Amino acid sequence: MKKILFLSILTFCFSINLSAKKNKDTIQSLNPFEFSYTDTSSETKSNLYIKANEWVANTFNSAKDVIQMNDKEAGKIIAKGVIECFETAALSSITIDVKFTLAIDVKDKKYRIRLYDFLITYISIPGNPYSPFQPNTSLSEDKSHDLWPKNFRNVKYKCYDRANELLTSFKAGMKKSDKSDW
């Protein structure tokens, strides 16, 4: 009985390790590093456009600062956002900003969001003026940055998670009912 229990636990741990490795390999191999979600709706282009604008305004600190293009006739919104990542290396904390582009397209009964062009734009390492990354390093690059491959992977994982959070939030915002009793 003890052997069966031990083998069951060992198998379970091994399968968790394999699924975690698979997820990390999937993230590492995302090339280009882009995300997209398309869905249908019963709503008009105008209503979907309003919901998309509302989502941008509620999601980002200052919608005016992030929105680059907002064309109601075309049903298109383009915004620039930033994901802030924190890494720990040795005894210091590293701040890394990753800029990305977000595009929302709407038409009657259909909408799409795309997240792309993820670029490392700012790195702050206390006490060290040198950066392991070149300015505007793309997360779509194949190379794992010889100087700090672990940090590059971790930044990619955090951006992957944050992008999926944004997609989930967008889905919820677009499904939200307009019925209010104010």
Q: What is the pLDDT of residues 36-70, one digit of tens each?
A: 999 999 999 999 999 999 999 999 887 677 899 99
In terms of Cα–Cα distance, which of 157, 132, 154, 155 is closest to 145? 132
- pLDDT (tens digit per residue) in 5-48: 333 443 433 333 433 443 545 554 566 789 999 999 999 999 99
Query: What are the boundaries of each domain within the chain?
Result: 32-175
What is the phi-psi region of residue 117: left when phi exceeds 0, alpha when psi lies from -120 to 50, beta otherwise? Answer: left
Per-residue model confidence (pLDDT) at position 178: 67
Mean pLDDT of 112-117: 96
Residue 67's SS3 state is strand
Contact between residue 122 and residue 96 where contact means Cβ atoms under 8 Å apart: yes
How many angstroms separate the CA atoms of 17 and 28, rounded? 16
Furthest-apart CA pair in the chain: how many Å? 69
CATH topology of domain 32-175: Alpha-D-Glucose-1,6-Bisphosphate; Chain A, domain 4 (3.30.530)
How many angstroms separate the CA atoms of 104 and 75, rounded? 8
